[in-house]
Amino acid sequence: MLHSPRTVSDVMTHTVVAVGREAPFKEIVALMEQWKVSALPVLEGEGRVIGVVSEADLLPKEEFRDSDPTRFDQLRRLSDLAKAGGVAAGEVMSSPAVTVHPDTTLPQAARIMALRHVKRLPVVDAHGLLQGVVSRSDLLKVFLRTDEELADEVRRTVVAFLFPEGTVTVAVEGGVVTIGGVIHDRGLVPVAARLARTVEGVVDVRMDLAEPVRTPPR
Report phi then psi at 179, rounded to 5.
Answer: -105, 120
Report d(CA 91, CA 77) in Å as an integer: 15
Residue 33 pLDDT? 96
Output the pLDDT for position 73: 64
Assign 3-state DSSP to the chain and report helix, strand, coil percentages, each to 5.
Answer: 40, 25, 35
Local confidence pLDDT in tens for the 218 residues of the chain: 455 678 999 999 999 999 999 999 999 999 999 999 999 999 999 999 999 999 999 998 877 766 666 666 665 676 777 788 899 999 999 999 999 999 999 999 999 999 999 999 999 999 999 999 999 999 999 999 999 999 999 999 999 999 998 899 999 999 999 999 999 898 999 999 999 999 989 999 999 988 776 666 66
Task: Please give the pLDDT value at position 85.
Answer: 83
Long-range contacts from 15-23, C-beta under 8 angstroms, 24+ separation: 15/132, 16/41, 16/122, 16/130, 16/132, 16/133, 18/42, 18/43, 18/47, 18/130, 19/43, 19/53, 19/89, 20/44, 20/89, 21/50, 21/88, 21/89, 21/90, 22/88, 22/89, 22/90, 23/88, 23/89
Looking at residue 29, the DSSP 8-state letter turns out to be H
Nearest C-alpha neighbor of 24 from the set 89, 94, 95: 89
Query: Rounded CA gap, 31 and 23, in Å?
Result: 11
- At 172-195, the pLDDT tens digits run 999 999 999 999 898 999 999 999
Query: Is the model's pTM score more than 0.85?
Result: no
CA dihedral of residues 157, 207, 109, 161 (deg, nearest 10)? -20
Closest listed residue to residue 165, CA positions, set 187, 183, 186? 183
- The predicted pLDDT at position 71 comes to 65
pLDDT attached to residue 184: 87
205 neighbors 193 (Cβ within 8 angstroms): yes
Whether residue 38 contacts residue 55, with contact meaning beta carbons closer than 8 Å, is answered with yes
Residue-level pLDDT at 83: 80
